């Protein structure tokens, strides 16, 4: 469905992100080695700790879920059964948070292959819940034969993260979310523009949108946009907040360079 009444969505070109320049620091070779060793140990220790905690909490959640299922079979009261369902819902949310932590701390590698863009989008749409698909305004202006060399699993996860961010923001009023896919004329850059009519009015929130673990929602960990940007940058593109006017709604644009291998 094409929404001709949607506000204009601004084209943006992908930006380069060179390694930050650092001022030279004079120190002895031994001090440098000690510093690198300390940072390495600290990073490895934090990663190991994260894995252990994730595994332990995951085991506890499995136990809670199993015992709740057993209890539900013996519950006669409708109120008691509803409370048990709330326990299972909470367990599911915590499990999702643990999955985000695991995904965030894992080493990042890409399994690239040639993927047709139109087929990619059909698969992304197929992963949406019915309640989300019913509210989506979608248009793809990419010709049939256009393909990219990508890690299709990670790109789909990244697009879904940005899309679901918009669906969550518009859920209370069941407002539509728009997804437009097109290309910059004369370039090999494809853009995925995701728009919701709910603006982000707070300036502090807008500045922190891509900060890891920043969230205004109680049910997630604040890694969705961070990981989505990481995935697209690894493919030579980016994820940017591209709303031209604060009151016009919220737009995120994901860019993908088709010439990137």
pLDDT tens-digit profile, the chain (261 residues):
434 344 444 444 444 344 334 344 344 434 444 444 444 445 556 566 666 776 777 787 788 888 888 888 788 888 888 888 888 877 776 776 676 666 666 667 889 999 999 999 999 999 998 999 999 999 999 988 899 999 999 999 999 989 988 998 888 889 999 999 998 777 889 999 999 998 877 778 778 777 877 676 655 666 788 889 999 999 999 999 988 776 788 999 999 998 876
**According to the model, what pLDDT value does residue 91 have?**
77
**According to the model, what pLDDT value does residue 63 have?**
84
Q: Where are the domains of the chain?
A: 29-105, 113-257
**According to the model, what pLDDT value does residue 52 have?**
72
> Smallest Cα–Cα separation from 58: which of 107, 18, 96?
96
**According to the model, what pLDDT value does residue 69 have?**
84
Alpha carbon 1 to its chain centroid, in Å, reads 24
Q: What is the DSSP-derived secondary structure letter of residue 128?
A: S
**According to the model, what pLDDT value does residue 221 have?**
62
The Cα 237–Cα 174 span in angstroms is 31
CATH number of 113-257: 3.30.565.10
**According to the model, what pLDDT value does residue 36 have?**
40
CB 123 within 8 A of CB 242: no
The Cα 238–Cα 13 span in angstroms is 9
**According to the model, what pLDDT value does residue 199 have?**
86
Question: Which residues fall within 8 angstroms of residue 57, CB to CB, at 6 or more apart?
Answer: 94, 98
Strand 238-241, strand 147-150: pairing: unpaired
**According to the model, what pLDDT value does residue 38 have?**
42
């Amino acid at each position: 469905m094409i929404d001709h009444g949607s506000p204009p969505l601004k084209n943006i070109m992908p930006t380069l992100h060179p390694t930050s320049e650092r001022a030279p620091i004079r120190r002895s070779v031994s001090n440098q080695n000690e510093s690198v060793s300390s940072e390495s140990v600290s990073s490895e220790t934090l990663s190991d700790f994260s894995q252990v905690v994730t595994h332990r909490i995951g085991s506890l959640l499995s136990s809670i879920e199993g015992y709740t299922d057993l209890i539900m079979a013996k519950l006669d009261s409708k109120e008691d059964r509803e409370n048990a369902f709330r326990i299972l819902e909470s367990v599911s949310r915590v499990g999702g948070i643990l999955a985000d932590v695991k995904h965030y701390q894992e080493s990042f590698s890409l399994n690239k292959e040639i993927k047709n863009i139109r087929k990619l989008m059909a698969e992304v749409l197929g992963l949406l819940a019915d309640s989300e698909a019913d509210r989506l305004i979608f248009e793809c202006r990419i010709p049939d034969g256009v393909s990219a060399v990508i890690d299709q699993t990670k790109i789909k996860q990244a697009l879904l993260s940005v899309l679901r961010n918009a669906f969550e923001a518009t859920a209370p009023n069941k407002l539509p979310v728009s997804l437009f896919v097109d290309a910059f004329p004369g370039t090999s850059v494809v853009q995925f523009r995701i728009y919701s009519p709910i603006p982000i009015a707070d300036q502090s929130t807008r500045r922190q949108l891509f900060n890891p673990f920043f969230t205004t929602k109680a049910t997630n960990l604040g890694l969705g946009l961070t990981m989505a940007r990481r995935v697209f940058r690894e493919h030579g593109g980016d994820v940017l907040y591209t709303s031209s006017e604060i009151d016009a709604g919220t737009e995120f644009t994901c860019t993908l360079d088709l010439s990137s291998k």
